[in-house]
Structure 1
Amino acid sequence: MFKPIIKITTATVIGASLMLPLQMAHAQATPAEISALQVQMKALQAQIDALTSQQQATQKEVATVGKNVVTRTPAGDLLIGDTTLSIGGYIKAQATASNNGFGDGKASEIVSPGALRKMNSDQGSRTSMSARESRFNIGTSTPVFGDTLKTFVELDFYGSDNQANEFVSNSYGPRLRHAYGSWGKWLAGQTWSTFMDLNGLGEIDAFGQHASAIFVRQTQLRYTQPFAGGSLQFALENPEDGGDDQSVPDMIGRVNFDGNWGHASVAAMARKLSLDDGTAKDSKWGDAYSVTGRFPTFGKDDIRLQANYGNLGRYMGLLAYPDSVVVDGGTENGNIDSIDAWGLSAIYRHFWTDSLRSSLAYSQTGLDSSGSGNMTDSYDSAFINLMWTPITNTTLAIEYQRFKLEEVDGDNFDLNRMQVSAKYDF
């Protein structure tokens, strides 16, 4: 409850002061009267000082409370003092029907080369439902020293499911997706790799699962320098090649171009692959390159293209190809050798109406190094879907998915899957 603000003006004080000489002008004041008037003036001054102090305290209280009051921004976020707090995410329910016993009937199973290799062609179809992809995030934005300090944390439920079951609870552990802070041109924390361009993914219900997708989140230190029509980025990112022997961060550079014509981006990466098992010790530098583009075509339609080449390893296709191998035999026996691969994809999105759309996607990858045994020789995928947004923040989808993996030794793994989903953004 605020106290009323009483405003003491100079005119009020002057008016009160002028009353005394006007009264004294009509009669000669006695010493006793003068003394009484002086007492009255002192009392009046004390009241003025008290009211002024009260006014200043009330104004300070109003200013302090105003800084902590919670309001809404035009975008619907919360404004707490100088900090804008945004809360978001989505609830997604999905159901899948897969052949070859894929995923033991788990609708939440992400299609990856590792998961495809576990299929059994002697088994029939599997159907299941899941809400595991649902996610929740919190972000803040605060002006600090002439720039904006931003933070972002996001979780989904693809964490450990050792204690989960589909009999009663269908419980799944939360998993960290993003956790980073940025100020000005600098970013530190876990988020999408600088080697990855989200524009290359397209609107596919099986998010990030097409064969040639560059898809990695990891901790990094990134610097972004904007320029007219784009930006230049450099980053040092967490190194990993499966052996935990790395001593040098992955070094990545990217240049983005944006305009009314669309978006194009080129990235390059240098990484040091290491072998250090206590007996053998070796290292080798690898490099990789990625080009992506998103271009409008007719109406609201667009096409997204991606081409990748080099020592891609875990960066492409959810580890379709190894980062490196240890040479067995020959003059390089026991040394480390990098593995090169390539990947191409095209995704076309067509709007039937403003609320109804489809995406057609094809992705192909191949080994560009010598390989043997169960190493991936080629990995392809295709998708076609229909997505409908009947009301705000709601998307209903049905999608056909086709995956094919072939190993160097000739073994093949094929998966056909239908997926339907209901997604509610908040």
Structure 2
Amino acid sequence: MSINETREIAMRKGTGLLALMAVGGALALPGAASAETQMDAMQRQIEELQRQLLDLKAKQAQTEQRQVETEKRQETALTEDDLKGTMPGSIRIPGTNTSLKIGGYVKLDGIYDLGPSMGGTVTADSMPLDGDRRREGAFGYNVRQTRLNVTTETPFEDIKVRSVLEFDFYGGGGNEANVNSATPRLRHAYVTAGPFLVGQTWSTAYDLAAAGEKLDFGGLPGEQAVRQPQVRYTSVSGPDTFAIALENPESDFIGNVPANNSVTAAAGSASGIADPNFDQVPDLVIRYAHKFDWGHLAVLGIGRQITAETVTADESVFGYGLGLSGTVKFFEKDVFGFQVLGGEGINRYLNLAYRQSASFDGSSLEALTSWGGNVSVKHYWADTMRSTLIFAYQRIDNNDVVPLTANKELMTFHANFIATVVPSLDVGLEYIHAHRETEAGAEGSADRLQASVIYNF
């Protein structure tokens, strides 16, 4: 029964009750009472009944208002439920089955070099050598590691299609005199559908779970931290994961060519080749991982072709590498991680030795042997306080074609303390030591302190 029907019945009952009580009151008056006294009594009874009827109407109005508010709350609750996405922290785009999630973090780095300046990030491969003209004690702030990512997910029958787009701000910077601008740089842009991935993301060779946490944004020597376009297939069966990918190639070599790695034909020649790098087939990367109660282990293999083509030469060499990585958990939350990779013609996958996968003397190409890796230990002092120690090393066995100025060994050490002061807000301090040695035996070392504030959203 509706509220209006209830109110109408109550009013009819109230009116009948009014008449009944008025008549009853009149009959109950003593016969000796005057007509005026009877009328006064009836008037008082009518007024009392009217007051009661008004009270009843007021209560009915309150009941109706409460029901309306309850219906509104129910409608609001249904709307919020409809907008809840399939991913944690996501919302559903109205009128679609697609969930949308926006995330990232804002990061401020304060950097002080205890010795030679190393720039915005620690780059052990290009740091000053002993005896070089250099400035010491440099200080600066930057927010360029700040990043923004957008993730979508749409279910289609038995699979979910997910897309990821992420940028940071290391694409280029403005002057520090007034605006301190920074250009967005694409990091990730890929789509996954079931076991398939297409687009740009971390190389299949990179074991992100085994990487140690650090505040410095520069890459570690010997780390497979390569992001590139690829097509990947991944199969997961219980604790086992197998992945195979065809990834973007890049023929990188060093030797008797100009610094920009280009060879120009003689003036007037119609057959000049501006750049001897020539990519013909994608890199092949295969990775297998197994999870244990105490951590995980992974093995990987890399196969690639490096090609140099000039006016007078067309040379190719095969590069290959084998790697091992993993984690070991201990003391409840603490983690030991490691990554190692070695082979021939694979320096591009060792992070800080780009252009040293092979040597080229203008007529022949030879793959260079190299290896590298890193180990890390992460310890929790408390649920909101943690520290990580990282040691990273890389070595390249150069031949006589490689210039004496090329790097032979690279090393970095990181030690930090990070505290979560409130949920989503981290502050930390990190000490960094870097060292490099060239083929000629020249060496250089540098030290840095970095403080960071990170707000995740």
> Map of 1:364-383 to 2, 5 A cutoff?
364-370=393-399, 372=402, 373-383=404-414
Q: Is the 8 A contact 2:117 2:134 kept in 1?
A: no
Find the partner of 1:206 among 200, 213, 216. Answer: 216
Aligned residue among 124, 133, 157 for 2:145: 133
Match of 1:221 among 212, 219, 231: 231
Contact kept in structure 2, 1:135 and 1:154, CA below 8 Å: yes
Question: Partner of 1:315: helix, strand, or coil?
Answer: helix
Distance in 1, Cα, partners of 2:384 & 2:80: 42
Structure 1 residue 92 and structure 2 residue 113: aligned? no
1:322–1:70 Cα change, 3 Å = same
- The one-letter code of the counterpart of 1:318 is L
1:207-228, Cα deviation, whole Å (9 max, x unpaired): 4622221110000000001122
Q: Report the Cα offset of residue 257 of structure 1.
A: 0.9
Indicate how the Cα distance of structure 1 residues 190 and 203 shifts in structure 2: closer, same or farther if over 3 A, else same. same
Q: CA deviation at 1:340?
A: 1.5
Match of 1:190 among 193, 196, 200: 200
Sort the Cα spacing of 1:121 and 1:200 in 2 relative to 1 into closer, same or farther, 3 A: farther
Given candidates 398, 401, 405, the residue that maps to 2:432 is: 401
Task: Select 1:148's aligned residue among 146, 156, 160.
Answer: 160
The structural deviation recorded for 1:338 is 1.0
Question: What are the superposed Cα offsets for residues 216-261 of structure 1, whole Å, 9 maximum, x if unpaired?
Answer: 0000000001122121101000000235311010011000111322
Alignment of 1:14-413 (within 5 A): 70-71=83-84, 75-80=88-93, 81-103=96-118, 106=119, 108-116=120-128, 120=132, 122-161=134-173, 164-207=174-217, 209-242=219-252, 243-310=276-343, 311-319=345-353, 322-327=356-361, 334-370=363-399, 372=402, 373-413=404-444
**Percent identity among equivalent residues?**
29
Q: 1:32-56 deviations in whole A, cap 9, x for unaligned?
A: xxxxxxxxxxxxxxxxxxxxxxxxx
Q: Retained in 2: the 8 A contact 1:96–1:417?
A: yes
The 3-state SS of whatever aligns with 1:133 is coil
For residues 318 and 250 of structure 1, what CA distance do their matches in structure 2 show?
A: 19
In structure 2, the residue corresponding to 1:210 is in which secondary structure? coil
C-alpha deviation, 1:377, in angstroms: 1.2
Structure possessing the higher relative contact order (Cα contacts under 8 Å, 6 or more residues apart):
2
1:199 aligns to what SS in structure 2? helix
Contact 1:159 1:174 (C-alpha < 8 Å) held by counterparts: yes
Q: Which has the larger radius of gyration?
A: 2
In 2, the alpha carbon distance for the partners of 1:281 and 1:119 equals: 40
| Cα 1:228–1:208 shift into 2, 3 Å | farther
In 2, distance between residues paired with 1:169 and 1:73? 40
CA deviation string 1:44-87 (max 9, x = no partner): xxxxxxxxxxxxxxxxxx9xx98996345683211123111110
Comparing 127-136 and 309-318, the one that deviates more: 309-318
Please give the per-residue CA displacement for 1:115-139, whole angstroms capped at 9, x wherever unaligned.
5569945422100000010000000
Structure 2 counterpart of 1:48:
none
Tell me the residue number matched to 1:49.
Answer: none
- Note the aligned Cα RMSD (angstroms): 2.4
Task: Quote the Cα distance in structure 1 between the aligned partners of 2:440 and 2:353.
Answer: 18
Q: CA deviation at 1:295?
A: 0.9
- Give the residue type in structure 1 aligned to 2:436: L
Instruction: Give the match for residue 19 of structure 1.
Output: none
Secondary structure of the structure 2 residue equivalent to 1:113: coil
Tell me which amino acid in the other structure corresponds to 2:210.
Answer: G
Q: Which runs of 5+ in 2 are unaligned?
A: 1-74, 253-275
* Other-structure match for 1:421: 452
Secondary structure of 2:281's counterpart equals coil
The count of aligned residue pairs is 353
Q: What runs of 5+ residues in structure 1 fail to find an aligned partner?
A: 1-61, 329-333
CA distance in 2, matches of 1:409, 1:77: 55
CA contact (8 A) 1:210 1:382 kept: no
Structure 1 stretch displaced more, 270-279 or 183-192: 270-279
Over 3 Å counting, the alpha-carbon distance change for 1:395 and 1:118 in structure 2 is: farther
Per the TM alignment, residue 364 of structure 1 is displaced from its structure 2 partner at its CA by 1.7
Instruction: Report the AA paired with residue 168 of structure 1.
Output: N
Q: Supply the distance in 1 between the matched residues of 2:384 and 2:188 (Cα, whole angstroms).
A: 30
